[in-house]
Chains A and B, each alone.
Chain A
Amino acid sequence: MLRASLIFAAVAIAALCCCDLELGHTDPAAMLARVGDGLLHPDWSLLWHDGRPDPAILRGLAHTLAFAFAATALGALAGLLLAFHYHRPWVRAPLALIRSVHELFWVLLLGPLLGSTSQVCALFAIALPFTAIFAKVYSEILEEADTRPLQSLPMQSGPGRIFYVLLPMAWNAGRAYTAYRFECALRASVVLGFVGIPTLGYHLKDAFGDSEYAAAAALFYLLLALVATHRLWIRPNLIPLWIVAAFLWIDWSSSLSWSNLTRFLGELVPLPLQRGEWTAMGPWLKQVLFAEAAPGIANALLVTQVSLVLCGLLVVILLPLALPQTAPRPLRFFAKSLFLLMRCIPEYILAFLLMICLGPSMLPAILTVSGHNAGLLAHIMANASAALEPRNAARRALDRYVYDLLPRIYGQILAFLFYRWETMLRESAILGVLGVGTVGFYIQHNIALDRPDRAALLILLAGFTTLGIDLLSSRIRRKLRLSSDFSSGRCGEA
């Protein structure tokens, strides 16, 4: 494990040397001060004026919730049905590809078909990748479920076995994971606002665009509160009601039609082929592969490798602040709040904020990807290691941590990092939409220039890269014998 860690650290350092870390902004300190001032003095009048909540914001809030509930419900249901067939290669392979494309790209891709700002487009942009992720994780959960009760059931129980043994035995793990996924859906729903879907993110982007930092801060706090407290206001027995309300709220009109579908599919074919100019295919491919895909994917990989190691480093450093074995109560409270904050801010919005302050370079992207994942992992690890009995009576807290606790949990940290590797790549790729030179930048650029054929190929290539990382990660995990049975760790999958 140590050798693998050192190899990855060396790769990260090499990658860091290739990274563009320049502060793009001429005066980041002043910018930071302006944003910071906004965060300290939020202007609530945007949310609440004339004694009642602002109707546009209220609608944005409703949309945010509706997409999250409806997409999670659809994804969970479809994912569950697919989970029973997940062992078949022809189910597994397309799902892996769907999973590897980020929700934001799905909006960009489905936009021309369903209407780029239509609510159906937003719903499916979240529900599609969620279905694929649910199918994978549910199938793992079902596989791990204790099926001994089946032996005491009649052989010809048929599908009844599923409802009387499999589903009940997998219920707790499945419920925990679905709850975590809902939190992800909430974040995704907010983020879709940045590409024109009328959720809270839309208003946030507007406020930032107009440099109204105080108003943006109020919105930012609202969505933080939304994500951080969702476990308090979602009562399990009210969930069906929420879902029905979400489906009723969503406007189902879209530009989907047969002619639109054929046109949409036709436009995904490389332009030279559409026109029958076979000789133009060479330059077209050369342009997409070498001028866009290669630098875009390479940059995404650079960001990912640096973030992966930085994330691990952050967790190892921050974790002792949150453990009862090493930290006093007030410090633990502070550290845990910090973790919660780090995981609650949607990655995309964190990157957006950092980019406003630091300018568009890989630095804000790296800080975002490593920070968000470190918050998630530190939170999980703090809960998982709180009950570990100290085996070592060292007087100093740091000694206890380094000589006793850390060696015992390091394998789990590594397992989680490898588990998150592909997610980090997905995140790095989309941050390009904000202006970093990762593949998302080229995808959005092509969409903006109305070249869906190029964007589609780039999305496909990015998806294959993510798949490759996924395979590599599971191979390394197997080689290092890192167990995948850390049930809370699965909640890290995004």
Chain B
Amino acid sequence: MIRLDQLNLSYGELPVIRELSLSVAPGEKIGLIGPSGAGKSTLLRHLAKQFPEAAWMPQDLALVPPLSSFANVHAARLDRHSLWRNLRNLVWPHPQDLAEISYLLKDLRLEDKIRSRVGELSGGQQQRVALARALHRAAPLILADEPVSALDPALAEICLQRLFASSATLLVSLHSVELARRHASRLIALRHGQLFFDLPASQVGDAALIELYRPE
């Protein structure tokens, strides 16, 4: 599904990803970990450009604040409906679309905010709207950059469960190693823009993690 061969990425003059090679099979659930500045976001942004058909949830969420949660989530399927239905949904949502999206938002504990303007929601609520949009896209590949960073532990758990229950191939960067180990089946660790380890989640030991996050 994804195959990277000796990938180099730089931010201006500054090299961010160096000689990264990896391949991802369809249906794999991958957690992307590593210290801040390791190049996780850069890698995900690069993949989002390479695979425009993927559902992409960036760290800054990229929501449309003046629109409702419903409209923001529905936007993920604009290509599957007629223009007329899309326009109608801005004013008077179609019952079928409304039911589908409210079911999804219920999983993320956000069903009561379905009609709220996204700009008026809290950071954690906005993050769940963005996550719902990525899930609603029903794409074969979901790329998510820190999807639960603004959520409390209980909500983060619930939302990650929902995300990893998806049948899509997943590549999710996470700050919390615990969450990554528990939900992902395979962990890819980056340090200084290079592959540090690439192991099944069950084989990642504490020693490797201490080494990964060791300060300079």
CB within 8 Å of B: which residues of A?
148-149, 151-161, 163-165, 168-169, 171-172
Q: Which of B63, B79, B81 has its CB near the most chain A CB atoms (within 10 A)?
A: B79
| B83 x A149 contact (CB < 8 A) | no
The residues of B that contact A161 with a CB separation of less than 8 Å are: 78
Question: Residue of B at shortest CB range from A154?
Answer: B79
Whole-angstrom distance between the alpha carbons of A153 and B77 in the complex? 8
30 pairs, CB–CB < 8 Å, chain A vs chain B: A149-B63, A149-B64, A151-B48, A151-B56, A151-B58, A152-B57, A152-B62, A152-B76, A154-B53, A154-B77, A154-B80, A154-B137, A155-B52, A155-B53, A156-B79, A157-B75, A159-B83, A160-B78, A160-B81, A160-B83, A160-B86, A163-B86, A163-B90, A164-B67, A164-B71, A168-B64, A168-B65, A168-B66, A171-B66, A172-B66
| B77 x A165 contact (CB < 8 A) | no
How many residues in B have their beta carbons less than 8 Å from beta carbons of A?
31
Whole-angstrom distance between the alpha carbons of A153 and B136 in the complex? 11
Whole-angstrom distance between the alpha carbons of A159 and B86 in the complex? 10
Q: 11 new A-B pairs (CB below 8 Å) besides A148-B58, A152-B133, A152-B134?
A: A152-B62, A153-B76, A156-B79, A158-B79, A160-B79, A160-B81, A160-B83, A164-B64, A164-B67, A168-B65, A168-B67
CB within 8 Å of A: which residues of B?
48, 52-53, 55-58, 60, 62-67, 71, 74-81, 83, 86-87, 90, 130, 133-134, 137
Of the candidates A148, A154, A168, A171, which one forms a contact with B78 in the assembled complex, judged by CB atoms under 8 Å apart?
A: A154
The residues of A that contact B53 with a CB separation of less than 8 Å are: 154-155
Q: How far is the CB of A170 from chain B (nearest CB, A)?
A: 10
| B58 x A153 contact (CB < 8 A) | no
Whole-angstrom distance between the alpha carbons of A172 and B86 in the complex? 22
The residues of A that contact B57 with a CB separation of less than 8 Å are: 152
Question: Residue of B at shortest CB range from A169?
Answer: B64
Whole-angstrom distance between the alpha carbons of A157 and B134 in the complex? 15
Whole-angstrom distance between the alpha carbons of A151 and B58 in the complex? 9
| A158 x B83 contact (CB < 8 A) | yes
Q: How far is the CB of B69 from chain A (nearest CB, A)?
A: 13
Known interface pairs A160-B83, A163-B87; A153-B75 also in contact (CB < 8 Å): yes
Whole-angstrom distance between the alpha carbons of A315 and B205 in the complex? 69
Whole-angstrom distance between the alpha carbons of A161 and B71 in the complex? 12
Whole-angstrom distance between the alpha carbons of A153 and B58 in the complex? 12
Whole-angstrom distance between the alpha carbons of A151 and B61 in the complex? 10
